[in-house]
Chains A and B, each alone.
Chain A
Amino acid sequence: MNGDFAIQTFNLTKTFNGLVAVDGIDLNIKKGELFALLGPNGAGKTTTINMLCCLLKPTSGTAQIMGYDINRQPFKIKEIIGVSPQETAISERLNPQENLNLIGELHGMNPRELKSRSQQLLETMGLADRAKDQVRKFSGGMKRRLSIMMALVHNPEILFLDEPTLGLDPQARRVMWEYIARLKEDKTILLTTHYMDEADFLADRISIIDEGKIVALGTSAELKTSMLEKHTMIISVQNLTQQVIKEMRARYAEVEITNGTMTISAQKLDFKEIVDLLHTSGATVRSAYIKEPTLEDVFLHITGKELRE
């Protein structure tokens, strides 16, 4: 065990009656890191989290959380983790305050600290004015926010967030992102998502998981540059001549034209050269830009699949 790592997995594997949900994952997540597991439905994200928070027994392999083994010391681990499950999990006939108290008390927090912390969370998440209403009357998004707060109330060292912004409106999502971003450094966070922008915005490192396997790992920038040796330029252009189209096709690997938009992809693109060529041919260029590769492209490139949004 390396002292710098908060979470380490060793060939972590889970099969459900022959179906390999998680297939020999090796991860090393540093203390204070925000690590995102990015993958499509059924990739094995939730299964991985469930093994790490000691709800599922691995079929083979193991993992350590702050040096504690998930197979041998589950209750040590439960003391230091906070988990926000994928599905909203709250107690319907309790109010938000009581839901937070339940988790805080189960973690043995002292009442004063618990009170101030839950108050602060309720305010941050915009539920302070509803703190005394039974949560069964809440909207889906409000329940969702409460469910995530319950992972945070006891101020855990290690945080597992399974699709934390699922079902939130864009505004609440933004608030949640900012809140999670502020937790960085202080805590080690493992977050799963199938939103590219979420991983891009929040994560120090991203691991792309598909069919139970880690297929790519790195920072957002690393993934984008290392995985894509292809650049794309998008030009909005009028009065194209057959002549210039032919010339473009001769120079660049892929040239497509649809509704006055020319898309050029190649390993090397020369922005100035292309614009000049178009100008001299008599075409009118209204706009032109080089499109940055996105994680979406990375994912498509690696797995040959689209991520479902």
Chain B
Amino acid sequence: MRFWEIGKRNLKELYRDPVALAFLLGMPLVFILIFSFAFGGQATRPLSIGIVDEDQSQISTAFVNCLESIPALEVAPPIYHSQSQAEEELDTGELSIYLLIPRGFGEAVEHRQAIDLELAYNEADPMLPQRAVPVIRAVALEFLNIPIPLNIELRETEVEIKDEYINYLIPGMAVFGLMILIPSVGGIMVRDRAKGFLSRLMTTPARPSDFIFGYSLPFVPVIVVSVAIYLGVGVLMGLSIIGNLGLAFLILFIIGICCLGIGMLLGTLAKSEEQASGAPWIFIIPIVMISGAWWPVEQMPSVIRSIADALPFLHAMDATRSIITLGTGLEAITNDLLYLVGWTVVIFALGVILFRRSMRS
């Protein structure tokens, strides 16, 4: 249990340093707040609206084209033909609002009769109809050219996913947030090496694995707290959790441990604290970009996609998303889970091997 003795010492060394601790625990909070506000804000995006064209007449098609040409609206493809499809999208959060053009729309226009439209929207965002109704009214007025009584019926729908983008964003941000621990976690080891304390410990019978696990130990609680912060703030920001929260927690915890292992590798190899805290950014930022933390990566070149796919981070994001948003169970994400565990084991094993080498130069 020598790793425990080293770990105990490192726990004390970290938790008796309030500044370092505040930094480690404050970082995820600041991080998630900044990114949620920067990317999660509805107002920055044009109103995305789905359309159900039950009428499918020439007139209704022309009306849809007219709606599509308006910059204030972003008509989400495809144009549905039946309400049930749109209803499903609304329920899973793919859509937050849709417009129903009912059967008889074309005829009503031709005969200058009163027109009925229906707007169904996600109850989580009561502001949506207020933004949508004036726009649709204006478009209809222009389209019809002469005033015809236009009746827009609003229908609030209770849905499972309140904000699809937040549900996309939070798992990505959580994984990114855990990755930014990488530059910090090697710090104690690097400092001990510079001060000769690590050499002193190396003259005791402690083994390479005792060092790697002993220096990792104090950061395990940090990871648990960070994951809790990401999910907790996520819920406050409107994250809807459909699947098993514990399972999502587990996936994020494992990718956190994997990041910890990468930090240990860097701590083992780094010659100075600057190296250990600076070097990781060279790969963290690109990896986050290609792993789809902010936007889906399907349209990226296949080479980049396969790199992202080989690394564990995308798997962690995807698995967490599918648990949280789709309610996927353990069986469906077993492969991702094993992949993450595999990476983690390999990284720690590599850490132990490299540390063993560093023990006798």
Interface residues of A, Cβ cutoff 8 Å to B: 50, 53-57, 74-75, 78-79, 81, 83, 85, 87-94, 98, 102-103, 105-108, 134, 150
Contacts and interface: CB of A to CB of B under 8 A. Distances in A.
Given A85-B196, A107-B204, 14 more contacts: A54-B202, A54-B360, A57-B361, A78-B205, A83-B203, A87-B195, A88-B196, A89-B197, A89-B200, A91-B12, A94-B9, A94-B13, A106-B6, A108-B205
DSSP majority for the B interface?
helix
A203 B207 CA distance: 33
A93 B197 contact: no
Nearest to A92: B13
B112 interface: no
B205 A106 contact: yes
User: What are the nearest 10 A-B pairs in CB distance?
Assistant: A106-B204, A89-B200, A83-B203, A93-B16, A89-B196, A105-B5, A78-B205, A87-B196, A89-B197, A57-B360
Task: Indicate the member of A55, A79, A83 with the most B CB atoms within 10 Å.
Answer: A55
B201 interface: yes
Contacts, number: 70
Contact of A89 (B199, B207, B359): B199
Contact of B16 (A56, A83, A102, A134): A134
Given A102-B5, A102-B9, A93 B17 contact: yes
A88 B9 CA distance: 17
Contact of B203 (A55, A57, A91): A55
A94 B12 contact: yes
Contacts of A75: 205, 207
Contacts of B200: 83, 85, 89, 150
Interface of B: 2, 5-6, 8-9, 12-13, 16-17, 195-197, 199-207, 359-361
B205 A107 contact: yes
Given A57-B360, A102-B5, A93 B12 contact: yes
B97 to A, nearest CB: 56
Nearest to A75: B205
A118 B41 CA distance: 60
Contact of A93 (B13, B196, B206, B361): B13
Contacts of B196: 85, 87-89
Contacts of B6: 102, 106
29 contacts: A50-B199, A54-B202, A55-B203, A55-B359, A56-B360, A56-B361, A75-B207, A78-B203, A78-B204, A83-B203, A85-B196, A85-B200, A87-B195, A87-B196, A88-B196, A89-B196, A91-B12, A91-B13, A93-B12, A93-B13, A93-B16, A94-B13, A98-B9, A102-B9, A106-B2, A106-B6, A107-B204, A108-B205, A150-B200
